[in-house]
Amino acid sequence: MTELKTGGAQGYLRIATEEAFVTQEALDMYGEILDGPDPDPGFKSLWGFYLRSEAERPKFIRDALLGLGAGRIKDMDDRGIDKAVLALTSPGTQILSKDKAVALARNSNDELHQACKDHPDRLIGMAACAPQDPEGAAKEIERAVTKLGMKAVIINSHTHGHYLDEPQFAPILEAAEALDVPIYIHPNTLPRGQVEPLIAAGIDGAIFGFGVETGMHALRVIVSGTLDKFPKLQVIIGHMGEALPFWMYRLDFMHQAGVRAGRYASSGPLKKEFVSNYLKENFIITNSGVAWEPAIKFTQDVIGKDRVMYAMDYPYQCPAYEVEALDNMDMSLDDKKAFFQTNAERVFKL
Ligand code: 1DF
Ligand code: MN
């Protein structure tokens, strides 16, 4: 293993775009939910582990998530990460009651802003908001972008079983489109009533359930016609597009078949002909959790080289050997630079 260095000597900077943090306030709120009556089963499976287990991994992750100073910068240095785009970790505000979600969005944006101010050449922020209060969320997004310098909006997927294509969330999409910032739809655990069979099998979290949940969320946003209403909106999804690029042929075929037959009122004709048109024109895909050359190249091939970005997913998945493997991909320097650096610079306006 060669030593990884920041500074771009390999011909590009490494900008990691799905990096997580948490605040003590969020952990306290999560603890209250876990101690309350009948906590959400997916949340309990995920955060019962990360908050309460004393095993090595959850302890490391708790500390790393809370770190927004020297420790995080050192971990970035050790892994050759020049810049990290940070977002409140899943489920962020989404699991909270309205009042708590509003408070956490505001306070965590302020904390993140301070960290970015302390490390202006290393840390970049995404704005949290509380979809439980859509008008307030739009105002908080505006504050975070215009006053705090945030470069995107983080939505940790469904909010109490509700998805961004539902009409009550229009103010959020409107604000993001008007401010010209992308929305990162990051995974959440599946809602009650869907997550139980995955918990029973031990596949509810990042191993599989996250992808099912968030791939579905992205697809809902497409087939509902939401992106026809907000055509300039850019949506980022991680984990190699939550497998949607691999589904693309079938999505196009079956969506067309359904439209022609008038099968579903809720996924009627779209302004653009194919589901894949939206993936290629409104989505940016990061490789968080998938340090795997064939999947990255396939996605570059079918979605576009200007729409696939590097992400580490610190601290959940952060071995240095993954950075080295990606450096060593059999890919032109131009394409590698787009992947690691320039796509992120364009998407986040760095
Ligand atoms: C995990 C993975 C947890 C990711 C995350 O947030 C997360 C995990 C709580 O491994 O349990 O963001 N991830 O994006 O892959
Ligand atoms: Mn993540």
Residue-by-residue DSSP string for 6-65: SSSTTSS--EEEEEEE--HHHHHHHHHHHHSSS--HHHHHHHHHHHH--SHHHHHHHHHH
Return the best residue to mutate from 313, 314, 322 for the ligand 1 pocket (most ligand atoms within 8 A of CB). Answer: 313
Closest-CA residue to 241 (of 300, 189, 181, 316): 300
Q: What per-residue confidence (pLDDT) applies to 333?
A: 98
Question: Is the CB of 47 inside a 6 Å radius of any atom of ligand 1?
Answer: no
Distance 268 CA to ligand 2 centre (A): 32
* Domain harbouring 313, CATH code: 3.20.20.140
Note whether residue 4 is domain-resident. no
Q: What per-residue confidence (pLDDT) applies to 2?
A: 75
Note whether residue 252 is domain-resident. yes
Work out the pLDDT band at 54, boundaries 50, 70, 90: very high
Distance 186 CA to ligand 1 centre (A): 9
Q: Which domain holds residue 239?
A: 17-347
Work out the pLDDT band at 265, boundaries 50, 70, 90: confident
Q: Provide the domain count of the chain.
A: 1
DSSP 81-108: -SEEEEEEPTTTTTTS-HHHHHHHHHHH
- The span from the CA of 226 to the CA of 270, in Å, is 9
pLDDT greater than 80 at residue 266: yes
Tracing tokens 């064939």 back to the chain, one arrives at 294
Distance 89 CA to ligand 2 centre (A): 7
Q: What per-residue confidence (pLDDT) applies to 264?
A: 86
Take atom 13 of ligand 1 and give the residue whose Cα is closest. Answer: 206
DSSP state of 269: -
Distance 316 CA to ligand 1 centre (A): 6
Identify the residue with better confidence: 164 or 264.
164
Note whether residue 116 is domain-resident. yes
Read off the tokens for 147.
């006053």
In 224-243, which ranges are continuous DSSP H helix?
Answer: 226-229, 239-242
Distance 8 CA to ligand 2 centre (A): 25
Note whether residue 9 is domain-resident. no
C-alpha 57, offset from chain centre: 21
Note whether residue 318 is domain-resident. yes
Take atom 5 of ligand 1 and give the residue whose Cα is closest. Answer: 90
Name the helix (H) or strand (E) containing 265: none
Take atom 9 of ligand 1 and give the residue whose Cα is closest. Answer: 90
Note whether residue 336 is domain-resident. yes
Note whether residue 6 is domain-resident. no
Question: Is the CB of 80 inside a 6 Å radius of any atom of ligand 1?
Answer: no
Is the pTM higher than 0.75? Answer: yes
pLDDT greater than 80 at residue 268: no
Note whether residue 1 is domain-resident. no
Question: Is the CB of 89 inside a 6 Å radius of any atom of ligand 1?
Answer: yes
Question: Is the CB of 205 inside a 6 Å radius of any atom of ligand 1?
Answer: yes
Tens digit of pLDDT for each residue in 58-101?
999 999 999 999 999 999 999 999 999 999 999 999 999 999 99
Q: What per-residue confidence (pLDDT) applies to 241?
A: 98
- Angle formed at CA 250 by CA 247 and CA 252, multiple of 5 degrees: 105
